């Protein structure tokens, strides 16, 4: 592929996630080149530009989006900027991969939905990367086979080693649990209809308002259910699992272990430290699919704006349930044909 055929990518936000996307695009996605980066932190932007082999550094994100040297945009800036950056990409008519969450409010998600439908082209992809994880794909394939019958129940475990900030239940739901909502919807092939959420503070020394361990119960369409444990201060490492319990069988993700280590009278497997290491293969596969979809003008195989909107609708209902202690309905409208 010669340079003129490469997709020129601009990356907004070059913190932990964004800089990993820059390195993955530069090293593993042959059809793309990172031409421009932006971060509020000039030092991070400069480091990412260097990691990309000498990308330009934009003065602001809109300049990056509108640059003639950018064909497609990857958004990895703070969560509450995602919707506004995505809207700017739609206005510029440029394909965009927006890291989750698509938005931090339902209203913002609706604005993106309406803007994409209005421009008449599917330009938005959302970074629910578990859809590209080999272990999750194997569970999905098992569910699609006739071997284990119709899926009935999703069970998710989502654990982070620690969080660097005092964390409310609403932040855990908006920033982290969206993955589990998307996994439940995607693996079951159904929509969430009601939720019930309880949370607790894992340690007395944490701020009284901390809710770093949540249990989320969901009822979905077609007589399905889901339950997710989201714990962001487990202290031992990063672990995610997804299980489907079906009419005549079950399928659960295996931990992607590389070695069984024997030492000091113990034997065991290393636990990844964070999502970047656990889902590295998924992030590369997601980027390859995204760039491939742009170049082939075929649909992206990951999450769409509708999925990002649906996740935010579930998140909003969960925040209400956590606060009230009641079951809360998720009043999702019919999916537009534009997203079928
Ligand atoms: C982070 O942004 C991610 O997307 C990770 O997958 C998730 O486990 C983590 O909790 C989030 O903060």
Q: How far apart are CA 130 and CA 117, in angstroms?
A: 25
Strands 32-38 and 7-12: parallel
pLDDT for the residue 253: 98
Domain ranges, residue 42? 3-129+281-305
What is the distance in A from the centroid of ligand 1 to the CA of 17?
9
Q: Are residues 257 and 294 in the same domain?
A: no
Mean pLDDT of 313-337: 98
**Ligand 1 binding site (Cβ under 6 Å of any ligand atom):** 160, 175-176, 179, 232, 275
| pLDDT tens string 180-228 | 999 999 999 999 999 999 999 999 999 999 999 999 999 999 999 999 9
Residue to substitute in 175, 214, 231, 238 for testing ligand 1 pocket (most ligand atoms within 8 angstroms of CB): 175
What is the distance in A from the centroid of ligand 1 to the CA of 204?
24
What is the distance in A from the centroid of ligand 1 to the CA of 35?
26
pLDDT for the residue 165: 64
Q: Are residues 43 and 99 in the same domain?
A: yes
Q: Are residues 248 and 185 in the same domain?
A: yes
Residue nearest to atom 11 of ligand 1 (CA): 176
Within-domain flag for 8: yes
What is the distance in A from the centroid of ligand 1 to the CA of 195?
21
Residue nearest to atom 7 of ligand 1 (CA): 176
Within-domain flag for 212: yes
CA dihedral 145, 275, 198, 252 (to 10 degrees): 20
| pLDDT tens string 52-70 | 999 999 999 999 999 999 9
What is the distance in A from the centroid of ligand 1 to the CA of 105?
18
Q: Is residue 307 within 8 Å of 319, Cβ to Cβ?
A: no
Q: Are residues 125 and 41 in the same domain?
A: yes
| pLDDT tens string 221-277 | 999 999 999 999 999 999 999 999 999 999 999 998 889 999 999 999 999 999 999
Q: Would you say how long the chain is, in residues?
A: 340
pLDDT for the residue 164: 65
Q: Are residues 38 and 140 in the same domain?
A: no
Q: Are residues 8 and 95 in the same domain?
A: yes
Q: Are residues 139 and 119 in the same domain?
A: no
DSSP state string for 263-297:
ETTEEE-PPPSSHHHHTHHHHHHHHHHHHHHHHHT
Could you give the count of Cα atoms lying within 13 Å of 263 in the half-sphere of its Cβ? Answer: 6
Does this model's pTM top 0.95? My answer is yes
Confidence of residue 21 (pLDDT cuts 50, 70, 90): very high
Q: Could you give the C-alpha distances from 178 to 26, 65, 90, 222, in angstroms and in order?
A: 28, 26, 23, 21
The CATH number of the domain holding residue 186 is 3.30.360.10
> Cβ neighbours of residue 4 under 8 Å, at least 6 residues apart?
none
Q: What is the mean pLDDT of the chain?
A: 97
SS3 at position 52: coil
CB-based burial of residue 101 (10 Å sphere; 0-12 exposed, 13-18 middle, 19+ buried)? buried
Q: Are residues 146 and 252 in the same domain?
A: yes
Q: Are residues 125 and 137 in the same domain?
A: no
The CATH number of the domain holding residue 18 is 3.40.50.720
Residue nearest to atom 12 of ligand 1 (CA): 176
- How many domains does the chain fold into? 2
Comparing CA positions, the residue from 104, 94, 40 lying closest to residue 68 is 94
Q: Are residues 144 and 242 in the same domain?
A: yes
Q: Are residues 8 and 117 in the same domain?
A: yes
| pLDDT tens string 81-118 | 999 999 999 999 999 999 999 999 999 999 999 999 99
């Amino acid at each position: 592929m010669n340079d003129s055929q490469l997709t020129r990518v601009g990356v907004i936000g070059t913190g932990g996630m964004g800089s990993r996307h820059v390195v993955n695009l530069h090293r593993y996605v042959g059809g793309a080149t990172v031409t421009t980066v932006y971060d509020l932190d000039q030092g991070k932007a400069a480091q990412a530009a260097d990691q990309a082999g000498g990308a330009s550094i934009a003065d602001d994100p809109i300049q990056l989006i509108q640059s003639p040297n950018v064909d497609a945009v990857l958004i990895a800036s703070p969560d509450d900027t995602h919707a506004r950056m995505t809207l700017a990409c739609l206005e510029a008519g440029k394909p965009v991969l927006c890291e989750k969450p698509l938005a931090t409010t339902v209203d913002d998600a609706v604005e993106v939905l309406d803007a994409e439908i209005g421009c008449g082209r599917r330009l938005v992809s959302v970074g629910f990367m578990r859809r590209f994880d080999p272990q999750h794909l194997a569970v999905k394939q098992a569910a699609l086979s006739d071997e284990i019958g119709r899926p009935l129940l999703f069970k998710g475990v989502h654990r982070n080693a620690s969080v660097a900030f005092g964390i409310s239940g609403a932040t855990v739901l908006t920033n982290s649990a969206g993955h589990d909502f998307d996994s439940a919807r995607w693996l079951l092939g159904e929509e969430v209809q009601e939720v019930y959420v309880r949370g607790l503070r894992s340690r007395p020394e944490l701020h009284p308002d901390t809710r770093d361990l949540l249990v989320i119960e969901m009822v979905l369409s077609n007589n399905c259910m889901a339950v997710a444990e989201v714990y962001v201060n487990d202290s031992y490492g990063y672990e995610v699992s997804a299980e489907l319990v079906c009419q005549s069988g079950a399928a659960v993700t295996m931990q992607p272990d590389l070695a069984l280590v024997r030492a000091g009278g113990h034997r065991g497997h290393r636990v990844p430290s964070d999502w970047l290491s656990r889902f590295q293969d998924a992030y590369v596969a997601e980027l390859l699919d995204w760039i491939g979809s742009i170049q082939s003008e075929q649909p992206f195989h990951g999450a769409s704006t509708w999925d990002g909107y649906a996740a935010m609708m579930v998140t909003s209902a969960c925040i209400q349930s956590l606060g009230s202690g009641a079951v809360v309905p998720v009043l999702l409208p019919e999916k537009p044909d534009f997203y079928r």
